Amino acid sequence: MEVNPSSSDGKPVTTRFHSRLCEQRPLSAKAFELILSRPPGFDFKAGQRLRLQYAGTERDYSLASTPQSKTLRLCIRHFEQGLVSPRLARLKAGAPLWFTGPLGYFTYRPSSRPAILVATGTGIAPFYAICRTHTFRFCLLHGATAPEHLYYETFFRQQAQPYVPCISKPRTRLPAGAFSGYVTHYLERHLAPGRYDFYLAGHEEMISDVTLLVDDRFSGSQVYAEIFY
């Protein structure tokens, strides 16, 4: 661990951690997991992210692991034309990696209101951390273009009450209990009026659409959001 130069008020600007790749696991044709060794002194809250420094640039990835975990699990979308993700996808076990963090405030905030979790794509990662760390009742709307992109589905089917896969472009048979359409359509049609805690993680269009829907139909609710590419 090394500490970067101090700011003018004497506080460290950021702490840089050194880690190694333990394993790389495919999640689908569009996403994969990196399992990193956890450097000493790196503490975080479930739902926070780290800033990976790689290929001369930086990328923020939410941690899918719990704060008690011995390794760090990242859930990464594979952009074929991207600068970083194709190279990360080719990394072999043992490769050195550097990152800073933890970052962000997308963490669980206990309340008496029902929790509605909405995820699209790799936005499911912070929920995988939060829902294995905290015990609370939640409904999960899991948006994906196709069933093969419902990452961590098995876990959430057991934990969420209810778990609703929302498949926006169904080409094959829908999974059990799935809704054909966008998460916003499900909310419009099936969520009873009331005050909720909405946790949104995923594409910016989903976040803006759901937030505007909350303003219109679920006034008095709380909205916590993390935008993902």
Partner 1 sequence: MSVMKIYTRSGDRGKTSLFSGERVEKHHLRVETYGDADELNSVIGVVIAYLPDANKKIREELSVIQTNLLQIGAWLATTPQADVQSALAEITDDMVTGLEQAIDRLEARLTPLKNFILPGGHPSSAFAHVARTVCRRTERRVVQLALQEETSKTQSPLKTIQAYLNRLSDYLFVLARYCNKIHNHQDVLWK
The contact set with partner 1 (CB under 8 A) reads 7-9, 49, 59-62, 76-77, 85, 104-105, 107, 109-111, 122, 197, 201, 204, 207-208, 211-212, 214-215, 219, 221-229
Work out how close the CB of 225 gets to partner 1 at its nearest, in angstroms, rounded to a whole number.
7
H/E segment holding residue 198: strand 197-202
Reply yes or no: is the peptide bond before residue 162 cis, omega within 30 of 0.
yes
User: 31 vs 166, which CB is nearer to partner 1?
Assistant: 31
Work out how close the CB of 148 gets to partner 1 at its nearest, in angstroms, rounded to a whole number.
20
Rounded CA Rg of the chain: 18
| Distance separating alpha carbons of residues 67 and 142, to the nearest angstrom | 23
User: 24 vs 107, which CB is nearer to partner 1?
Assistant: 107
**Angle of CA points 49, 166, 184, to nearest 5°:** 80
Distances in Å between the Cα of 213 and the Cα atoms of 60, 111, 113, 163 are 28, 21, 18, 20
User: 186 vs 228, which CB is nearer to partner 1?
Assistant: 228
Work out how close the CB of 15 gets to partner 1 at its nearest, in angstroms, rounded to a whole number.
16
User: 146 vs 223, which CB is nearer to partner 1?
Assistant: 223
User: 33 vs 197, which CB is nearer to partner 1?
Assistant: 197
User: 105 vs 174, which CB is nearer to partner 1?
Assistant: 105
Contacts of 136 by beta carbon, 8 Å cutoff, 6+ apart: 108, 110, 115
Residue 187 is which amino acid?
Answer: L
What sign does the CA torsion over 144, 146, 152, 155 have? positive
CB 85 within 8 A of CB 26: no
Work out how close the CB of 170 gets to partner 1 at its nearest, in angstroms, rounded to a whole number.
26
Work out how close the CB of 214 gets to partner 1 at its nearest, in angstroms, rounded to a whole number.
6
Work out how close the CB of 70 gets to partner 1 at its nearest, in angstroms, rounded to a whole number.
23
| Distance separating alpha carbons of residues 145 and 194, to the nearest angstrom | 28
